[in-house]
Amino acid sequence: MRFLKYMIIPTTVLLMAGCESASKQTQDAQTAQNTDAHLTLGTIESQLHKGMSNASVVEIFGPPNIVTSDDQHQEVWVYDRISTMRTHSSSGGWATIVILGLGNKANTSSTSQRTLTLIVKFDHNQKVRDYSYRYSNF
């Protein structure tokens, strides 16, 4: 009985710490994902503007995925960014298994994808004439 009394409290503490850890990892991953998404959109909104050169666009965003021309025979660049974020957390009561022969395990996983498409249209002087973008998170 004495053995059981001294083992219940530490076992309970270990189980609760494991559950809290899995929950915190999931929240941290979601926070990082949301922060990254805002930075990407922020770059477009704060640094891209009409009249800037195509060299400046390449410096900020890198080379485009697609280069084509519109109905006015002006150059159009398309950037497509797709990212997948997977998180997995697992917590379990290994101390309970050892002491009482019982176990408790919780798994949490999530997958999300983000897409960002940026279309930049240039004039005959290779300056940004117009641009548009679309962001989705699913």
CA angle 118, 137, 122 (to 5 degrees): 5
pLDDT digits 0-9 by tens, 4-35: 556 666 666 555 655 555 555 555 555 444 43
Structure tokens at 42: 């922020």
- Domain ranges, ordered by start, for the chain: 2-137
Contact 51, 127 (CB under 8 A): yes
Instruction: Evaluate if residue 105 carries a pLDDT over 60.
Output: yes
Specify the DSSP element, H or E, that contains 31: helix 2-47
- The CATH code for residues 2-137 is 3.30.1450.10
Question: Could you tell me the pTM of the whole model?
Answer: 0.57
- The reported pLDDT for the residue numbered 133 is 95
Instruction: Evaluate if residue 111 carries a pLDDT over 80.
Output: yes
